[in-house]
Amino acid sequence: MDSQLKIGFVGAGNMAFGITKGMLSGNVLPSNIKVSAPSSRNLGRFQELGVAVTHSNTEVVCDSDLVFITVKPHLVPPVLSQISPHITDRHVVVSVAAGVTIATLEELLPENSIVIRLMPNLPCVVQEGALLFARGSHAKPDDVALLRSLLHCCGLVEEGPEAWIDIHTGLSGSGVAFVYLFAEALAEGAVKMGMPSALAHSIASQTVLGAGRLLRDSGRHPAQLRSEVCTPGGTTIYGLHTLEQGGVRASTMSAVEAATERARELGRLSAARSTK
Ligand SMILES: NC(=O)C1=CN([C@@H]2O[C@H](COP(=O)(O)OP(=O)(O)OC[C@H]3O[C@@H](n4cnc5c(N)ncnc54)[C@H](O)[C@@H]3O)[C@@H](O)[C@H]2O)C=CC1
Ligand SMILES: O=C(O)[C@@H]1CCC=N1
């Protein structure tokens, strides 16, 4: 990767921070990153990382080679209309906005713009993200290689067809929050049974971490690992039976489905805004 490569973020929120932290753990220097947001309130934690900040989106674009669009999906059309006059053929534009399609992004940018649609997730902040991207019509293998080289420190980085990006949003972008809900409920169950809250939460988070690492590192199917925890007639099968009675599996599948459908809906809304 070119050590002089300049990276910009339009939007200084949680996801911009997560990707920035991930990239800084690799060989990206803070002096090569610039972030913009209308309010100084969001910029302080970037300054603490040594990253340059500004209120001007166009300044970020003019000073960057690769620009992440990290605003909320409904703001993508107005923000891209604002920065579009400053996008040139040297720029690679990477949008992380849920639902916003490559067609909408390309429509809002100059002809032949290099666009990549990326769906990251919050654990990029600890280099354990799960990121899926799809390349736009004008993205070349070098652009994709550049993005991969920047993001590899953020976690698992995969490329797929654009249709999978909304599904990944439900599975993993939002899925992180589903796991937190489960972790919270695990801890609350222990509190109900009399364990102090702080210890219950600490053990719940370690349980989620340990289960996740073993699942990933072993490469085994979750059902196989689950059966290793279940002693016949033991404690786990009693708990699992209770979870199944509550419909945990069906409701988790429905949660991924609902989040995917919402991403698709956000895509339709932003497409409608882009043609106004
Ligand atoms: N939070 C998450 O876990 C994930 C978020 N995303 C996507 O990332 C994008 C950003 O989400 P978050 O970081 O969670 O939101 P956020 O609300 O934390 O950050 C949005 C940022 O945009 C800034 N902003 C508002 N108006 C702006 C403007 N006109 N120009 C420039 N900046 C402006 C805000 O000041 C704020 O810093 C969304 O499109 C979301 O779909 C994708 C994957 C995961
Ligand atoms: O909730 C959202 O819309 C964003 C996209 C995935 C995670 N957070």
pLDDT at 103 over 70: yes
Ligand nearest to C-alpha 105: 1
Q: Are residues 155 and 229 in the same domain?
A: no
| Complex prediction ipTM | 0.99
3-state secondary structure (DSSP) of residue 142:
helix
Q: How far is the CA of 99 from the centre of ligand 2 (A)?
A: 9
Q: What is the CATH number of the domain that holds 151?
A: 3.40.50.720
Comparing CA positions, the residue from 111, 155, 157 lying closest to residue 136 is 111
Q: Are residues 159 and 181 in the same domain?
A: no
Radius of gyration of the chain measured on its C-alpha atoms: 21
Q: Are residues 127 and 23 in the same domain?
A: yes
Q: How far is the CA of 203 from the centre of ligand 2 (A)?
A: 27
* pLDDT digit string, tens, across residues 223-251: 999 999 999 999 999 999 999 999 999 99
Q: What is the CATH number of the domain that holds 223?
A: 1.10.3730.10
At residue 275 the predicted structure's pLDDT band, cuts being 50, 70 and 90, is confident
Pairing type for strands 92-95 and 66-69 reads: parallel
pLDDT at 152 over 70: yes
State if residue 260 touches ligand 2 by the CB under 6 angstroms criterion.
Answer: no
The residue assigned the tokens 């939460």 is 201
Nearest alpha carbon, ligand 1 atom 23:
11
State mean pLDDT over 252-267: 98
In a domain, 73, yes or no: yes
> 169, 178, 270: which to mutate for ligand 2, most atoms within 8 A of CB?
169
* pLDDT digit string, tens, across residues 18-46: 999 999 999 899 999 999 999 999 999 99
Contact 146, 1 (CB under 8 A): yes
Q: Is 155 left (phi over 0), alpha (psi -120 to 50) or beta?
A: left
Quote the domain boundaries for residue 207: 175-262
Q: How far is the CA of 84 from the centre of ligand 2 (A)?
A: 25
Nearest alpha carbon, ligand 1 atom 14:
14
Pairing type for strands 129-135 and 114-119 reads: antiparallel
Instruction: Report the alpha-carbon distance of residue 37 to residue 43 in Å, rounded.
Output: 7
Q: How far is the CA of 131 from the centre of ligand 2 (A)?
A: 13
Ligand nearest to C-alpha 119: 1
In a domain, 275, yes or no: no
Phi and psi (nearest 5°) for 32? -95, 5
Q: Are residues 224 and 114 in the same domain?
A: no
In a domain, 170, yes or no: no
pLDDT at 2 over 80: no
- The confidence score (pLDDT) of residue 273 equals 85
